[in-house]
Structure 1
Amino acid sequence: MRNLIFFQLLSSVCFFTLSEVVDNHFSKCTKFFLDDTPPDFTPPTGVSVKPICQCLWDDHDEQIYLYATLYSTSWKIPIFSAYVFQSPNIGRCDAWYIEPQLDGDSEPCMRPKGYGKNIGQNQAVTKDYYNSFYDKGHLYPVLHTNNHLSMLATSTLTNVAPQNPTFNQNVWLEHEKAVIKDLKSCEVAYVLTGVVPDTNIKMNNKVTVSKYYWRATCCLEKGQYIGQGYYGPDNNGLVKKLTIKDLQNLLKGFYQIIFFPNIPAQNKKPTYTCN
């Protein structure tokens, strides 16, 4: 039955995606983290978070995991999304989905509308953005995808936060393009993109607006891992470049996070973290 649904959906430009709320260790999608190790994250007191493995069903009835997201059901925005960067080569199709499992729905597949009575209690829904004067700011951006499935999977409300339109469409967009050039020569590059919430501003009296965006990259080049941090908007309205360590220290004012923990996998040589 799933195969039939998949082929029917494949015939259209945009089709439904699926994600999965998983355990705190992202056990089904650790491949998107350096050394299969998710960041060490300590949420502020009273803030609830849920790990999500974002994925699709393929034509063999198998799940394809495309990236990972840590989502705050308290703030109704993601904390971060993690992905492996690949040189982009794809167009864009916006079909916005939500994650039913966050609100206790048994349906595992994303869908553009929630029909359960509790849908929207623990997450943002499309109507929350109506007349809000905020953009849906991607964490895992379409610009950093290189295939149709990854592109579709980025357009879920669990991968976006309310973002200032001017910053999103200008400075942050140019930053996303610059990162493509920075990571072009990497053998492999792990990327984390996250949000700092402005807890004093809520869109629709519900969804916390983003105050800052940040990105941390870890690039393997010539046998060495090289880390780079980004943070914006800074005092000049631009994106600031800084070390991984400095970015982690900067974020301590909002929450505790270590992007690339130095925890070697078993039976492997230790991987030196980006710092």
Structure 2
Amino acid sequence: MLRLLLLLQVLASCLWLGHSEVVEAFLGPCALFFYEKTPPRGALRPTNAARICQFYDNKYRFATLYDRNNRIPVYSAYICKPGPGDRDQPWLVEPQLIDQSYHKYMEGEDSIIREYKIKSQQIAKNQAIDKDYSEALFLDRGHLCPSGHHTGDDKNATFTLTNIVPQYTILNQGAWHDYENTVAQESQGCDTTYVLTGAVPGKTYISNGRVNVPSHIWSAACCVRGKQPINAWGAIAENKKDMNVVTRLNLKRLEKSLSDLYEGKDVTLFKNSCSQQ
């Protein structure tokens, strides 16, 4: 009997270690990145979506809804904790978008190729890879969950290509960068700042049609003090090579703008609209 119990414990440990990072729903530790543990509802659900609990160095860091067809994230959800520091690893990808049985932590392409004895084309089937961005003109690798809103390993974890969209340089290094700095400053008055940042698919692509270039980048924040939401705000920007404008909006107007961009389909970003702010 003792031997049987030990065997069951080992099997349970193996099942936990193999717990999927690409999940059916944002539950458990991954739900903590959403206000009231509730993901957005409505139009922000592509037909071939992957829900990713972004896992790095033995810890969940943020959550991403990923569009396998367009090979860009729909949104990333995180808690803003800004601070200094630099990354110390190359661009990463998601092993479980290659094969559900692969390990759950993000890793570099070369490491995955060596570990699983596969080719780069297999990695690229359901996600963007480093090569996709190498010849993109006037475009940066735009973070949805920005490195500047984190410290230490949380910052390192943002450098996964499942958190990246093609964002025009003028916007990424201009008005959008300024807006991210503003969010970092405004979050200092909050005990917890829940942030959603997303991308609306556009009509153009890079890398021979592999990776969609979003038409708009948007973001929403819900500021909580104690357990009480005290403020909410949003922003949206057109993603064009000659545009460098970010428009600040209240939450309702941002949801209406996104609904219009998604052909009139409803969009709800925060539960109870972060107390109707």
- Same fold by TM-score, threshold 0.5 exceeded? yes
Unaligned runs of 5+ in 2: 1-19
Partner of 2:205: 202
Query: Take 1:259 and 1:272, find their aligned partners in 2: how far apart are those partners?
Result: 9
Q: Deviations over 1:99-154 (max 9, x none)?
A: 121122532132221533421111100011111122100001111002x1101100
1:173 maps to 177
Pick the aligned partner of 2:62 from 64, 67, 72.
67
Q: Is the 1:137–1:163 contact (alpha carbons within 8 Å) kept by the matching residues of 2?
A: yes
Partner of residue 138 from structure 1, selected from 136, 143, 148: 143
Question: Which of 247, 266, 270 lines up with 2:254 in the alignment?
Answer: 247
Cα gap change, 1:232 to 1:94, in 2 (>3 Å) = farther
| Pairwise CA distance, 1:272 | 5.3
Cα distance change of structure 1 residues 274 and 120 upon mapping to structure 2, 3 Å threshold: farther
TM-score computed with the length of structure 1 as normaliser: 0.80
Matched with 1:29 is 30
Q: Distance in 2 between matches of 1:105 and 1:35?
A: 28
Q: Secondary structure at the match of 1:225?
A: strand
Q: Which runs of 5+ in 1 are unaligned?
A: 1-18, 58-62, 263-270
In 1, the alpha carbon distance for the partners of 2:29 and 2:172 equals 31
Match of 1:4 in 2: none
Equivalent pair of 1:70/1:80 in contact (CA under 8 Å) = yes
**CA pair 105-249 structure 1, distance change in 2 beyond 3 A:** same
Other-structure match for 2:275 = 273
- Number of aligned positions between the proteins: 242
Superposition pairs of residues 28-177 of structure 1, within 5 angstroms? 28-43=29-44, 47-57=47-57, 63-93=58-88, 95-104=90-99, 106-108=101-103, 109-113=105-109, 114-115=112-113, 116-117=118-119, 118-133=122-137, 134-146=139-151, 148-177=152-181
CA deviation map 1:182-232 (0-9, x unaligned) = 11111111011111111x211111100122111100002484431101111
Q: Which has the greater radius of gyration? A: 2
TM-score (structure 2 length as normaliser): 0.80
Q: Name the structure with the higher helix share.
A: 2
- What is the root-mean-square deviation of aligned Cα atoms in Å? 2.4
- Assess if the C-alpha contact under 8 Å between 2:174 and 2:244 holds in 1: no
**SS, match of residue 55 in structure 1:** strand
Q: Among the aligned pairs, what percent are the same residue? A: 34
1:69 is matched by which residue type in structure 2? T
Q: CA deviation at 1:83?
A: 0.6
